[in-house]
Structure formats: structure tokens, C-alpha cells
Amino acid sequence: MASDILIVDDEADIRDLVAGLLEDEGHETRTASNSDQALQSIADRVPRLIFLDIWLQGSRLDGLDVLDAIRVQHPEVPVVMISGHGNIETAVSAIRRGAYDYIEKPFKADRLVHVAERALEISKLKREVSELRRRSSDSAELLGKSHPMNQLRATIDRVAPTNSRVMILGPSGSGKEMVARAIHATSTRAKGPFVALNAAAITPERMEIELFGTETPPGVERKVGALEEAHGGILYLDEVGDMPRETQNKILRVLTEQTFERVGGAKKVKVDVRIISSTAQNLESLIADGSFREDLFHRLAVVPIPVPPLADRRSDIPILIDAFMRQIADQTGIRAKSLSPEALAVLQSSDWPGNIRQLRNNIERLMILSRQDDAEAISADMLPHEVSDMLPRTPSQSDGRILALPLRDAREVFEKEYLVAQINRFGGNISRTAEFVGMERSALHRKLKSLGI
């Protein structure tokens, strides 16, 4: 298949020769005779493959500098260096700096064509792998039909196409990273990378290397920082609330200056990255006590997106359980089971401080524990203690039994008592009670009236 190939060489003969040989193989070629022309040509349209002369006479940058610029901006494009006779050492160091291969002048036609075909094949495979990765991350669908989830999805749809910096706020395990991935998947950067960095888990010294990468002498392998890795895509900074002050200063500098220097280097590097951050902490109180920079907060949280705790969207729990059972069955081969209405009600009534992650872990544990059991349905007494311990207690329902029953089972027995308990539990909030018991708000109102509540 015809591929767009850029040939960069200061010698017109070499440019014409390489172009001619590749065109004979059916490829399209463009040429550049110096570094600026080359960078401009790449900026106009990213080629599939680049042949790059190591010595670019009369150019602002030499071939290795152009290579560095390509590696930063378009790491997916393979670069084959063209080296003069006796330049092998430089060619080898170019490979260490990320060139795909080199050809030595004078080169044989079949060697040139072979190197080009192989480089194109490898880059095609890389594109396919990243496309598959992207699709598999897209398939991690945000589940839930509750009102808060619908609102969250609408917010994601609104912010995704913009370039605004988003801060996702919510307790641990509530799905903040999934929201960030959903924004990525529906944004104009969906084809670009999604790079996640947990700001809390990294010391300030290490943070600099992880974010900015290193500039090393030729021949020494360099670390590509998360900012460069995320070029053209999204950098997800997880747990910014736990970030040490020093790290906050460094991130603020990148956001204000839009450029950074690699560790050990002086060159300004510019990247095109959208930053999405998240925190489970209350940033307002961290700002009040001086442990989080207010200016950084305003720069990161241009659009704050709250993700509600699972306890605020209990009506999603049956959908989540069902999906997790199927996913875990697919992954482990353990047969998915159903839950008795009582077991489901207990799971729906529990408080889940660890949110969706805790729910998923418990479902996995339940499936493993009930693996040998012949019963079709998992009953309430098979639930781990961790789950029943999370049931909210009220003085009138000290054993949690009534709270644990869904409306459909409790109706005939103690409908009135059940509804009073749920209303008390949600502090008199009719909307939340209606959502929990699975009724329309107006229907619940009518029901309460008819029961004299």
C-alpha cells in the first residue's frame, strides 16, 4: 500500500535517489533539504516514515536534533537515519536515541527498500495495537441509569470535545479514572494517548523524572516523561490532593509556562497535552490549611466534575452486580449466579465506603466462595460479613432486616414501616428515597398519602 515517506538530506542526488527507489515500490514521497523544511513538512502532515540524514550541512539543527524533535512530537513515526561512510558510531547512537534503523551511504537499492518495508510494517502493527488498546478502554462502559449517572454522562459529553482542564472529584473507588477515560474516548484526542500518573505515590524527586523525563548524553538510554508520552492526548493526574507542595510548584510551572525542561537538560520542550486531574480529598479544606496551592486548584479545576459515592446511586447496584458477574465469569470461567432478592437487597442497602471497587471485589469474592455450591441463587446468609457490617442501622431496625428488603418483597408485610424507615434513612429526602425504592417521585408521594404517612 502506498505510504507517505519524507526524505531529509542536504544532497539533492541522495534525495532523488531515495525518492525514486521508494516511488518505484509504489510509495508517495516528499523531500526536505534542511532541518527547518523537514520540521515544517512534518508539521504540515505527519508522514508514515522518515529517512533522515545525520549530517545536514547548512542547517539550523543537525540530524540528531531533528530526530529528538520527531521522537518528542511523533514518537509513533519510525525514523531511518542516513549515515555517511565512517559515521557508524553516530548512527548507532541515533538508534539509542530512538531511530528505527540506519542505512549507510553508498547503499544498495534492495537494502533501502527492505528497511523501508520493515519500518512501515512495524509502525502499522504499533498503530493497530494502540487502536486495539483504545477500543478495549472504550469498551469499559460507565454503567448506571440513576439520575446522578445520567447527569455525569451529560457532563462528560459536554466537556469532552473542549480542551478545558477538568478536575474529577469523588471518593476512592467511585470511578474517577473511568470518567477520565470516558472523556478521552469521546474527545478529539481519542486517537492520542491516555497516560495516568498517580501523584500521591511518587516522591517529589521522582515526580520530576516521571513528569519531565530525562535528557541524557548520547548513548545513554533516556526516560521519556509522562508529559511527552501524553503528547497529542491526555495526562491523567490522579490524587492531586495528596501531592507534596514541591510537586505542586512544578506542575504549576508547566501549566503557566506551557513548556518544561527535561531533567538534566536546558532545552525548552513544548507539548500539546490536556490535563485531567482527580482527587478524593476535600481540596477546599486543604487550601484553607495551606497544604494545597489555591492558584494551582484554579488552573486545574476549570471544570470540576463531581462523581457521587455509590451510596448516592443505589439504584445502579443491581446493574453493576449483573455486569460484574458476567465480566468475572468471562475472566475466570466461574459460572455467574443469580442473587436471592434478600441478598440483593442487603447489597443494595449497604453503605459501600470503598464504592464501586469494593462492590466489584465483593462480587468476585462471592462468586469464588459460592463456586462449589449447587444452589442457583446466592442467599443473604452467604454474603461476607464485610457486607452486612456495612448495613446502616437505625434505632427501630437494629437488625437491618427491614432496610435490607426491596420494596417488592416487603410490600405486603410491612410496607408502611419499610417506607418510613427508608425516608428516615435518607433524612426525609423524597427524591433519594424514591430512587432507592425504585419508584417515581410522584408515585411515592401518592403512596405515602394513601398510607397516611
Ligand X SMILES: Nc1ncnc2c1ncn2[C@@H]1O[C@H](COP(=O)(O)OP(=O)(O)OP(=O)(O)O)[C@@H](O)[C@H]1O
Binding stretches for ligand X (CB under 6 A):
140, 142-144, 170, 172-178, 238, 280, 356-357, 360
Q: Which is nearer to ligand X, 49 or 321 (CB)?
A: 321
Q: Which is nearer to ligand X, 59 or 146 (CB)?
A: 146
Q: Which is nearer to ligand X, 51 or 194 (CB)?
A: 194
Q: Which is nearer to ligand X, 79 or 197 (CB)?
A: 197
CB of 201 to ligand X, least distance (A): 10
Q: Residue 293's closest CA among 239, 245, 237?
A: 245
**Rg of the chain in Å (alpha carbons):** 29
CB of 294 to ligand X, least distance (A): 23
Q: Which is nearer to ligand X, 176 or 425 (CB)?
A: 176
CB of 175 to ligand X, least distance (A): 3
- Residues 207, 197: Cα–Cα separation, whole Å: 9
CB of 239 to ligand X, least distance (A): 7
Q: Which is nearer to ligand X, 90 or 350 (CB)?
A: 350
Residue nearest to ligand X (CB): 175
CB of 390 to ligand X, least distance (A): 17
User: What are the distances in angstroms from CA 156 to CA 7, 43, 237, 241?
Assistant: 42, 30, 17, 22
Q: Which is nearer to ligand X, 263 or 283 (CB)?
A: 283
Q: Which is nearer to ligand X, 47 or 175 (CB)?
A: 175
CB of 236 to ligand X, least distance (A): 9
CB of 306 to ligand X, least distance (A): 12
Q: Which is nearer to ligand X, 175 or 213 (CB)?
A: 175
CB of 345 to ligand X, least distance (A): 21
CB of 204 to ligand X, least distance (A): 20
- Residues 69, 36: Cα–Cα separation, whole Å: 11
